[in-house]
């Protein structure tokens, strides 16, 4: 149980284009989902927290107009990187908290490798 | 500021030996701690967790110790195997903020 998937697993795009990444909880309802970014040989940095049906809460320094987050259902959250640039190239990882359990455990997806040319 | 850090960035152990990975945290308001394992190109995998009202918790081949007095967390892996090679992150849940703060990570390598 507690499986989180991401799609795509990797994507290469041209500078200036937008890329959408999906995060799904497969066997549980995720009331809260999180988006992280991880640069090579570094730790995970939280970008934003999204609760189903409400606006995402962004961490300091993360541009909400550049990283659009939508959490329209209890099993799906999307991250759209708008007007991507090479410095946006990174490993994007989502996680989800099981709304049916009284726990703070976050279950992580496999990540999406974004490369912007 | 708030941070979760690790004493050692890399750890190399012999196969079969026990591994101990350490973590320091600075936020006394944290109420929940988790260890994650991350293999190359993959997302973090949950290993074990512990709440702040406990000082020890055991799983299969893994033990987490929490010392709130010195704000220290450790992960012990017994009889380390080649499949344990990965980067290990500690994370703390900041009570009230409901978010995780990750440490820098320790790369564990296993020598045959």
- Among chain B residues, the shortest Cα distance to A93 is held by B43
In angstroms, the separation between the Cα of residue A101 and the nearest Cα of chain B is 15
Of B46, B99, B105, the CB nearest to A43: B105
What is the tens place of the pLDDT at every residue in B78-97?
999 999 999 999 999 887 77
Reported confidence tier of residue B3, pLDDT bands at 50, 70, 90 = very low
Read off the pLDDT of each residue in B61-78 and give the average, rounded to a whole number. Answer: 96
Residue of A nearest to B97 (CA): A49
Are the beta carbons of B46 and A113 separated by less than 8 Å?
no
* Confidence band of B57 (pLDDT split at 50, 70, 90): very high
A98 pLDDT above the threshold of 90: no
CA dist., res. A89 & res. A91, Å (int): 7
- Mean pLDDT value of segment A57-62: 94
pLDDT digits (tens, 9 = 90+) for A20-47: 999 999 988 888 999 999 998 889 999 9
3-state helix, strand, coil in chain B (%, to 5): 5, 55, 40
Q: In chain B, what is the straight-line distance between the N-terminal and C-terminal CA atoms, in Å?
A: 40
Q: What pLDDT shows up at residue A102?
A: 60
Which is it for strands A10-13 and A112-116: parallel, antiparallel or unpaired? parallel
DSSP-assigned states of every residue in B42-73: S--EEEEEEETT-SEEE-SSEEEEEETTTTEE
Total residue count of chain A as it appears in this document: 117
- Give residue A52's pLDDT: 84
Q: How far apart are CA B103 and CA B81, in angstroms?
A: 23
């Amino acid at each position: 149980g507690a499986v989180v998937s991401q799609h795509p697993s990797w994507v290469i795009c041209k500078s200036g284009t937008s890329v959408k990444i999906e995060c799904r909880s497969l066997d549980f309802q995720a009331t809260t989902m999180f988006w992280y970014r991880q640069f090579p040989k570094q730790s995970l940095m939280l970008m934003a927290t999204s609760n189903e049906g409400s606006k995402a809460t962004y961490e300091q320094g993360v541009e909400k107009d550049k990283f659009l987050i939508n959490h329209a259902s209890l099993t799906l959250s999307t991250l759209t990187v708008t007007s991507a640039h090479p410095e946006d190239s990174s490993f994007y990882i989502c996680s989800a908290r099981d709304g049916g359990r009284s726990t703070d455990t976050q279950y992580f997806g496999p990540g999406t490798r974004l490369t912007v040319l | 500021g708030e941070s979760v850090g690790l004493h050692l960035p890399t750890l190399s152990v012999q196969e079969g030996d026990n591994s101990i990975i350490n973590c320091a945290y600075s936020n006394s308001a944290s109420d929940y701690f988790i260890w994650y394992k991350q293999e190359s190109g993959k997302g973090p995998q949950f290993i074990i967790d512990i709440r702040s009202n406990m000082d020890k918790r055991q799983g299969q081949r893994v033990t987490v110790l929490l010392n709130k007095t010195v704000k220290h967390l450790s992960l012990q892996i017994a009889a380390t195997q080649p499949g344990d090679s990965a980067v290990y992150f500690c994370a703390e849940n900041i009570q009230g903020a409901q978010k995780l703060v990750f440490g820098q990570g320790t790369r564990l390598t296993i020598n045959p």
